[in-house]
Amino acid sequence: MTGHSIKPRWIILALIIFLAAMYRMVPLAFDVPALFNFSPIGAIALFGGGYFGRKYTAFVLPFLALWMSNLMIDNLFFARYYDGFAWFTNWEVYFAFALIVVLGVWLLRKVSVLRLLGASLSASILFFVVTNFFVWFSGTMYPKTAEGLFTCYVAAIPFFWNTVSGDLFFVSVLFGSFEWAQRSYPVLQLKKA
């Protein structure tokens, strides 16, 4: 982060990511089951992948926000499911998250509405496929057969629609707010070489 124009940009990007990550507690705090899986996870990963110039920052900052929000969720809302303080749970979510960051780096080199739509839908599908594969693979609810895997995916379809809706909504909010901020405050724009 060299140069005067990078620091404010980095701070605003980080602030947007952390605020979005904190939203994850809203459905739990207010007990709104209809909003479960309506989450900013995919949008945060794409946002980091799309806007951070240094790609390690595209991973580190969104992962830190995800981990911090998970600490609060696991230890405030789901503490009864853990023996003691839960430091790191649901590694399959982090794996899917990492793949979505890579998707963001790859698809969002140039941000446009069409690219955002494609990246958002791809992130939803990727998250659905990866996390439900691991529900089947490491769980005991479904037999370890092709039919069991298929049954697992079919059972997860109702949750998929909230994932798609959440990704589309939060991609619009995160990317839209930062694009507006860049136009309103040119100091947030990257300098052209």
Tokens standing for 147?
């039919």
Per the CB < 8 A criterion, the answer to whether 61 and 52 are in contact is yes
Per the CB < 8 A criterion, the answer to whether 86 and 68 are in contact is no
pTM summary value: 0.91
Tokens standing for 63?
């992962």
Using left for φ > 0, alpha for ψ between -120 and 50, and beta otherwise, residue 123 falls in alpha
- What are the structural domain ranges in the chain? 6-186
32 SS3 class: coil
Dihedrals φ, ψ of 135, to 5°? -60, -45
Per the CB < 8 A criterion, the answer to whether 71 and 87 are in contact is yes
Q: What is the pLDDT of residues 119-156, one digit of tens each?
A: 999 999 999 999 999 999 999 999 999 999 999 999 99
d(CA 182, CA 188): 5
Q: What is the pLDDT of residues 150-186, one digit of tens each?
A: 999 999 999 999 999 999 999 999 999 999 999 999 8
Tokens standing for 102?
């890579």
